Structure 1
Amino acid sequence: MTNNMICQNALHQEAEKHRHCCSIIPSYVLKDIAESNNVTEAVRTIATKSLGHVTAIHHARTSAQGDFSGPSAAPGTTFTSEPSRRPLLRIYDSQQRGIDDLPGIEVFVEGGVGASTEKIDESAKNVYGHFRNIADFYLKYPNSRHSQWAFGDGDYKLFDNFTKLLDVSGHEFTHAVVDYTGILPYWYQAGALNESIADVFGSMIKQYFAPGGPQKVEDADWLVGEGIWLVPGGRALRDMKDPGSAFDIAGVTKDLQPAHMDHYAELPMWEDNGGVHINSGIPNRAFVLVAKALGGFSWDVAGKIWYDSLTDPKLRKVFTIHDEPIKNEGEQRSRSKDTFKAFADLTIEHARTHSANALSAVTNAWKGVGVLH
C-alpha cells in the first residue's frame, strides 16, 4: 500500500497513451492542508508530496488526452454471470515508496499456487474483498479491461486508511469503466461528469453490499468516503444529496461543491483540472433526485439509465469534430461546457425506454439542478 493521502487508479491502455490517473481527494483540499498552520509539519509534508504527485499525473494525462482514439467497449457488450469472466486480481505492496515506484512488490496472485489471503496484511485483504464485490456488481454492466489501482494508507491524523471503504474502491473501479466505455476527458465539465459517475456507481455499490443487505434508496445516506476523516467537521468526502456539506475542517479546508448550476465554479485547468471534484456535485445531486423519485433500489432503473447514457456512442460526438481530436485548452473548455446538458439529454432519451415515471423523474431532476430549463 502507498503511504499517501491520495487514492488513485491508473489504467494501462495501448502504448500507455491514455493512462487515466485521478485522486479521490480534490487537489484543492491537499493544497489547503499543505498550506495550513493548523496541522502538523508532518501532515503538511505528506499533503505537499501527494499534491505534487497529483499535479504531475494530471499534467501528463491532460497532455495525452488530446487524442480520444483509444479503445472502448462495443455498445451492448455485457458481462456474463460466469465466474471465468470475472477479473483475476493481483495485489502489490509499494512499501511506502510512492506512486512513481508502482506497482511494487507482488504479495498475492488470485488463483496462484498457494495463494491465500491469510498471508497478506489488513489493507490488502480490504482491497481484495472490495474488488471481488465490485466485480460481482459490475457483472450487471459491460466488461472493463486490465487496470491498476493504488490506494493510500492515509496519514492516520487527518485521514484513515482508504482501503477500508467499499465506495472509495467502487469509485476508483468506475473510473476504469468510464474510460473504456465512455468518452469523458478529465477536465472542466466533462471531468466533473467523469467524477460524478464514479461517485454514483461507488455509492450504488455501497448500497448493494450494505451490511444489512441491499439498501433501498430511502435508506441510503448518499455519502462517499464516510468515515475517512479523523478530525471534527469531516463526515465524508462528498455528500451527493447535499453537495457542499461533506466536510468543514476548521482552519484547514471545507467542501466547495455546488448543488446547482447557478453556483457552477468556473476554474482554470491548473485548479482541480477545471473543478472536476467541485462541480461534480451538480450531476451527483441530479442522480439522487432521480433515484429518490423512483424509489426501490437505485441500480434497478436510475443506475441503468446512467450506464446506458454513459455508453451511448452519441456521447463521443460531444468531444470530436469530424473525428479530429481536441488540441488546446481553449477548445477543451469550450467543448466541455455543454457536457452536463448533453448527458442529461441522453438520460432523458434512455429514460423513455423505461416508463413515463422514469422520464418525469429524470427531466425534473436535471431541471432541479439547473442543467435543463
Structure 2
Amino acid sequence: MAGVHTAPAPRREIYDAGNKDSLPGTLVRSEGEGATEDEMVNAVYNALGTTFDFLLTAYGRNSLDGKGGPMQATVHYREKFANVFWDGERLVLGDGDGTIFQLRPRDLLDVVAASLLKEILNPTLQYFGETGALCESIADIFASLVKQYSLGQSADQADWLLGTGMLAPGIKAKALRSLAAPGTAYDAPRMGKDPQSADMDHYAEMSLQQDNGGVHINSGIPNRAFYLAATAIGGNAWEKTGRIWYDAATSGKLSEEATFVDFAKLTAAVAEDLYGTGDELEAVNNAWKTVGVL
C-alpha cells in the first residue's frame, strides 16, 4: 500500500551442518519460526536478533550490510571443531573440542557478535600484523557493546570480558579476553597464560606464521584504549564512545594498512566533530596516550 512503511526487521536463517564440513547445511529455523529442540540453534537465532537490534538502535544500521540483508548461520560444523568464523556469507560455529573449548549456548552472544562484526565494520582492512590487530580489536569492542546493550549495563557495570561461553568445564579461566586488563583473562594449565599486550611497550613483534603477525595478541592495546575512554566518558559505552569508534570504523577513511596511530587520530577527529573539544575528546586522547599509541 502506498505510504505504508514497515520498520526494519531481521531476516534470520539457521542451518545445521550435522557435524560435516558441507556448507550451509540443512535449514532448521527461519525468521519468525518457533524455537527448536536444539539449544544451539535457538541461542544463535537469538544472538543474531540481538545483534541486529543493537546495530539498528544504536547506529541506525539495518542488518549487517546496512541494507536489511539476511543474517545466516550454520551450527554443528565438523566434528569437535573448536572455532567460530565468518566465511563471507554466514556465521559458522563448531561445537568445540570438549577439552579447552566447548560452546555453551547460554553464553554465546559476544562470541557470535564478534565473528559477525569482524569483517562487516572493516571490510577493507588487511588481516595481519598491526592492521589485523586493529580489525580484531574493533570486532571485540562491538561484541562487548552488544553484550552490554543486551544486559543494560553502563560502562562501569560491565565486566569487559569476552568468550566466557567458549570455555570447556574444568577450565579455570575468566574468559578468552579482557578489554579492561589484557593479559589477565586466563592462566590455566591447559591454556597457558593470556599473552595479550596491554600497551605499546609490550607490543609483540611476530611473524605471519604466528597468529597472523599477532592479531589476537596486540589487539589488547586498542581494546584497552576503548575501555579507558568509555569508563572516562561514562554512561552506556555504546552511546558516546561506541558512536565515536563506529563512525571512525565505518568512515571509509582507513587505508587497508591502517595502523593504531591512524585509527587513534581518526577517533580523536570524530570525537571533536561529534562533541567538540570537551571531555569526550580529552578522554579519547588520554586513552590512546595511556596505552602508548599517541
TM-score band w.r.t. shorter chain? 0.7 to 0.9
1:221 is aligned, of 135, 159, 171, to 159
Contact 1:190 1:340 (C-alpha < 8 Å) held by counterparts:
yes
Asked if 1:116 is matched to 2:34, the reply is yes
Conserved in 2, the CA contact under 8 Å of 1:163 and 1:169? no
Residues in 1 aligned to 2:142 and 2:191: alpha-carbon distance in whole angstroms: 29
Indicate whether 1:92 and 2:15 are aligned.
yes
Tell me how large the CA RMSD over aligned residues is: 1.8
Tell me which residue corresponds to 2:76.
none
Which segments of 5 or more consecutive residues in structure 1 lack a partner in the other structure?
Answer: 1-81, 320-334
**Kept in 2: contact 1:207–1:215 (CA 8 A):** yes
Superposed, which structure 2 residues align to 1:348-367 within 5 Å? 348-353=268-273, 354-355=275-276, 356-367=278-289
Equivalent in the alignment of 2:291? 369
Q: What is the alpha-carbon distance in structure 2 between the residues aligned to residue 83 and residue 293 of structure 1?
A: 38
Q: How far 1:269 moved relative to its partner?
A: 0.9
Matches of 2:30 and 2:178, distance apart in 1 = 35
- Given candidates 55, 58, 69, the residue that maps to 1:138 is 55
State how many pairs are aligned.
261
Q: Aligned to 2:223, which of 272, 275, 284?
A: 284
Question: Offset at 1:204?
Answer: 0.7
1:343 aligns with 2:248: no
Work out whether residues 152 and 162 of structure 1, in 8 Å CA contact, stay in contact via their aligned partners in 2. Answer: no
Q: Is the 8 A contact 2:118 2:139 kept in 1?
A: yes
Alignment of 1:205 onto 2:146:
yes
Deviations 1:170-225 (A, max 9, x none): 11121242244xx3221111110111111101111111111xxx111111110001
Greater shift after overlay, 236-245 or 249-258? Answer: 249-258
Residue 91 of structure 1: SS of its match in structure 2?
strand
- Per the TM alignment, residue 151 of structure 1 is displaced from its structure 2 partner at its CA by 1.4
- Residue of structure 1 in register with 2:200 after alignment: 261
1:187 paired residue among 109, 113, 128 = 128
Instruction: Quote the residue 1:166 is aligned against.
Output: 109
Q: Which has the higher contact order (CA 8 A, sep 6+)?
A: 1
Identify the residue that residue 74 of structure 2 maps to in structure 1. none
Identity %: 44
TM-score (norm 1): 0.66
Task: State the alpha-carbon separation in 1 of the partners of residues 198 and 162 from structure 2.
Answer: 15
After TM superposition, the structure 1 stretch with the greater mean CA deviation from structure 2, 359-368 or 252-261, is 252-261
Q: Give ranges in structure 2 of 5+ residues lacking alignment.
A: 70-88
Structure 2 residue identity aligned to 1:178: L
CA distance in 1, matches of 2:199, 2:20: 41
| Aligned-partner SS, 1:161 | coil
Asked if structure 2 preserves the Cα contact closer than 8 Å seen for 1:192 and 1:278, the reply is yes
Distance 1:266 1:185, change over 3 A: same
Counterpart-to-counterpart distance in 2, 1:171 and 1:254: 22
Q: 1:159 to 1:359 in 2, by over 3 A?
A: same
Q: How far did 1:96 drift?
A: 0.7
Residue of structure 1 in register with 2:46 after alignment: 129
The structure carrying a bigger helix percent of its residues is: 1
Change (3 A) 1:152 1:184: same
**2:24 alignment partner AA:** P
- 8 Å Cα contact 2:122/2:250 also seen in 1: no
Q: Which of 147, 156, 159 is equivalent to 2:98?
A: 156
